[in-house]
Structure 1
Amino acid sequence: MSIEIGVKFIDNLEQARLEIQDVGSDQGGWQRMAPKAVHRVIKLTDVSPTQANIIKQEILARGGEAAVARGVVNHSVEKTDVLLMASLKQYRGFVDKLRMQPFGLAKLAERLAEALGNLEGVKVRKLNCRGKVLELGQRTRVMGILNITPDSFSDGGRYMEVESALEHALRMMEEGADIIDLGGVSTRPGYSEVTEDEEKRRVVPVLEKLLQAVPVPISLDTWRAGVAKEALEAGVHIINDQWSLRGDPGLAAVVAKYQAPIIMMHNGYNTNYGDIMMEVLHFLRVGIDIAEESGISRQNIIVDPGIGFAKTYEQNLEVLRRMKELTVLGCPILLGTSRKSVIAKTLNLPVDQRVEGTGATVALGIACGADIVRVHDVKAMVRVAKMSDAILRGVNCEG
C-alpha cells in the first residue's frame, strides 16, 4: 500500500510521550523528543523595548521566535506586546537564560515557567470544601443554581420560601448536582440592589435547612464580607464572589479565616477592552494575588470568566471561543452560561427554551478546560457533561 499521511494535534508532554512510544521509540527517545513535539505560543503585554530586545535575542538563540512592535529596536515605542513561539525544549533553555538577566526578566522567567507548567493538561486535585472533599479533574462537576430572589432573570420568585428552596435543592442533587449554589441577590442586567440585611434575611434560613438536609457542598453566591461571615459560621462550604475580592475589601480576610474555597469571577463596569482575554486574565490574576496575600491558599481558588458580565454579545462569544487560555492560571475553571442572554440572542429563544444552547456552551466549555459548570437544567447538563467527559477524558462517568 502507499504511504498515508496523518496529522497529530499534541497539547502536552503526556500526549507527546504516548505518540512517540506508539511508533516504537524507546524511553530514551521519547524523553529526548517529547519536549520538541509540544509548541506553545505565549503573549506578553506591557514589555519595555529593553526587555523586548533581550527576550527576542534569547528566544531566537534557541531556535524560537518572538514578534514585537516595529519600534522596539530603536526604542521609538514605550511598550510592546511580545508573541513568543517555541517548543517546550526551546522554552526550557530560554527560561534558564532569562533567569540570569536584569530589568525584571528573572521574575518574568519564574512566571513563564509556572505558566508553562500550568498548560500541561488537566490536573486531578482534591478541593477541601471545609470537610467535604470534591475531586476536580477526573470528571466535570455540575453546580446547580438555587436563586432565592424575586427578580432573577430565569427563575425569580420560584424558590423564595424555605421549603420550596429545599425541595428544589434536593431535586437537583437527585439529578446529579455535585454542588448547590445559593444566591440571595439577583445579578441580572438592570437588577435592583438590596441591603446586606435583606440578603441575610433571604439566605440564612434557607442555608440552615440546606446544611442539615443536603449532603453535597453548598456554595454561597455573595460578594459581601458580612453575609459570607454569617454563612461560613453556619457551615457553608464555598464562597462564590462575582467581583474577585474587589466588591468588599473585607471578604478576603473572612474567606482566609475559615479556609474556604473561593470562586473568583471576571467582572467590570464597562465593555471597553483591547485584547479581552488578556484583560480577563489580568483581572483574575490580580484577584489571585489579593487572595494569596490575605492567606487564601492557591489550592482553594477557582476562576470564572464571567460570561454575561461586563461583556457585549460578541465579547461573550469570543471569551467562550478562547476560554482554553484561562488554563494558564493553573486554577480550576468554572463556567456559568446557563440560559444567559448570549444564548437568547443567538437562538432568539425565551428563557425556558435555552437548554440546547446551554448544552452547546457546556460541551464547548468542558473541551476548553472547565472543571465545573453552573447550570439551571441539572439533569440535562449532567448528561452533556458525562458524554463530553467520555470523549475528552476517556472517563466512564457512571459514578
Structure 2
Amino acid sequence: MKIRNITVLNKREALEEISRIGAESTGCRLMAPKAVHRLIKIYGLSPKQATILKQEMLSKGGEAAVARGVLDSSAQSSEVILMGTLRQMEELISKLKMQPFGLPALGRQIKQVLDNLEGRPVFDLDCRGKKVTIGNRTLVMGILNVTPDSFSDGGKYYDPGMALERALGMVEEGADIIDLGGESTRPGYAPVEPEEELKRILPVLKRLVRDIPVPLSVDTCKSLVAEAALEEGAHIINDQWALRQDHRMAEVVARHGAPLILMHNQKGTAYRELMGDMIDFFNDSIDRGMEAGIPRDKMIVDPGIGFGKTPEQNIEVMGRLKELECLGLPVLIGTSRKSLIGKVLDLPVDQRLEGTAATVSVGIANGADIIRVHDVKEMSRVARMTDAMVRRKI
C-alpha cells in the first residue's frame, strides 16, 4: 500500500482526480464538491444572522466561527468565517433562501464568491477595437514613461521618436500592451496639471496609435487627460486612484467604451484588515464604474504594490493575492524595480532585475493575469516559464 496527499483548487480539479481512479461518472459529480474546502469571511452581521449561519453550517457538518457574544446577543455585530466543503456551502445557500433577516440576499452573495473562486473562463477583452485574450496566458504590459522624473526611466523617452522606438522594441520583445504615463507617481513626486501631462503624452500617443499594433493604455487619474487620450485613440485607461480622485473619470471611460484598470491606493498605511480593506475598496470602485455604465467585465484590478503600503504589507499582499479571486476580475500586478525589491535586496533601481523576476513569478502563481514591467524581454520569458508550471501550457 502507498499513501500521499493531493491538492485540488476547485471543483474541476477535484472531478479530474476522482475520475482518474475510475469512479462511476455520477458518483464523480456528487463527490467533487465534497473534495473542495472553502473559507468565506462575512462582515457586519447581526447576532441573529450569525447564529443562523452557525447553526446551519453545523447541521451540515461544516463550521462557522462567530464573535464570542453572538449566542447571548451581548455582541452588537459579528464577523463570521464559514468553513466547509463546496457541497456544504451549496446546501447552506439553499437553506438561506428560506430564512428571514436578509439572509436570502446574503446567500446570493456567497454563491457569487464561490462561483468566482472556481475560476474565470478565458475571454477576449475588447479594447476599443483591439482585443487581448485574458486567462490563456499571462499578458505583458510594457511601461513607457514620458516624464522627466519617474523613478526608473525618467527622461529617457521624452522625445516622441525615442518613445516610439522603445515601444516598438517592447512589442518585439513580447509586450501585449503598452502603458503610457505622463506623470511620475514615485514617492515624493510632484503632481502636474492636466495640461502639462497632456503636453507630455499626446505627441507620443499620436505616433503610437499610428504605428503600434498592440493596445495602448494611458496611466492617469485625471479625466481631462483620459478624455483627450481616448479621443486620440488610446485603448485602455489605467487609473492609479480607481475612480476616487476625479469624479468624472468613470463617465469618461464609460462613454468611450474603454477597459479600465482600478489600482488600489490610499494615503497612509493604516488598515483595519489589509486584504479585507482592499477588497472593500475594489468593490466600491467597481460599483462606481458600473453605475456610470462601465461593464463589470471591462474592469481589471491592480493591488497597487508600493502604494499606501509598507514593505511588509506589500509582501503580505503578494502572498495573499489569490484572495482577490473573490472579485471575479482579472488581476494586474506592477512590481517592476519597485522599492520593495530594493529594500529586501538592498540594491539600486538598475540592479533589481532578479528581484522583479521573483515577484512576477510569485504573482503569476498567485493568480495575476497581467504583469506591468520595464524589462519586457526578460519578464516575458519569466512569464512563459511560470505559465508552463502554473497554467500547464508549454
Residue of 211, 214, 237 corresponding to 1:213: 211
- Does 2:390 correspond to 1:392? yes
Alignment of structure 1 residues 1-399 onto 2, 5 Å: 3-396=1-394
How far apart in 1 are the matches of 2:106 and 2:141?
36
How far apart in 1 are the matches of 2:296 and 2:178?
22
Contact 2:120-2:328 within 8 A present in 1 as well: no
Q: CA deviation at 1:47?
A: 1.9
Q: CA deviation at 1:177?
A: 0.3
Provide Cα deviations, 1:23-69, integer angstroms capped at 9, x if missing partner. 01121111110000011011112222121111111111211100111
Q: CA deviation at 1:376?
A: 0.4
Contact 1:11-1:121 within 8 A present in 2 as well: no
How far apart in 2 are the matches of 1:293 and 1:213?
35
Q: CA deviation at 1:394?
A: 1.6
Q: CA deviation at 1:77?
A: 1.9
Q: What code does the residue aligned with 1:98 have?
A: L
Distance 1:122 1:297, change over 3 A: closer
How far apart in 1 are the matches of 2:100 and 2:222?
42
Stretches of 4+ aligned residues off by more than 6 angstroms: none
SS at match of 1:134: strand
238-247 or 76-85, which moves further after superposition? 76-85
Q: CA deviation at 1:195?
A: 0.4
How far apart in 2 are the matches of 1:145 and 1:261?
18
Q: CA deviation at 1:274?
A: 2.1
SS at match of 1:310: coil
SS at match of 2:69: helix
SS at match of 1:70: coil
CA RMSD of aligned residues (A): 0.9
SS at match of 2:308: coil
94-103 or 210-219, which moves further after superposition? 94-103
SS at match of 2:142: strand
SS at match of 1:72: coil
Could you state the TM-score of these two structures normalised by the residue count of structure 1? Answer: 0.97
Contact 1:261-1:301 within 8 A present in 2 as well: yes
SS at match of 2:361: helix
SS at match of 2:284: helix
Q: CA deviation at 1:346?
A: 0.4
How far apart in 2 are the matches of 1:227 and 1:114?
35
Q: CA deviation at 1:78?
A: 2.0
Distance 1:200 1:239, change over 3 A: same
Contact 1:225-1:248 within 8 A present in 2 as well: yes
How far apart in 2 are the matches of 1:306 and 1:48?
33
230-239 or 47-56, which moves further after superposition? 47-56
Structure 1 spans left out of the alignment, 5+ residues: none
How far apart in 2 are the matches of 1:263 and 1:198?
22
How far apart in 2 are the matches of 1:338 and 1:77?
45
Could you state the TM-score of these two structures normalised by the residue count of structure 2? Answer: 0.99
SS at match of 2:271: coil
Structure 2 spans left out of the alignment, 5+ residues: none
How far apart in 2 are the matches of 1:234 and 1:109?
45
Q: CA deviation at 1:122?
A: 4.5
Contact 2:69-2:75 within 8 A present in 1 as well: yes
Provide Cα deviations, 1:335-387, integer angstroms capped at 9, x if missing partner. 11000011110000000110111111101111111000000010010000000
Contact 1:52-1:72 within 8 A present in 2 as well: yes
Identity of aligned residues (%): 56
Q: What code does the residue aligned with 2:78 have?
A: T
Q: CA deviation at 1:101?
A: 2.1
How far apart in 2 are the matches of 1:344 and 1:359?
13
How far apart in 2 are the matches of 1:365 and 1:182?
22
How far apart in 2 are the matches of 1:133 and 1:232?
16
Contact 1:271-1:312 within 8 A present in 2 as well: yes
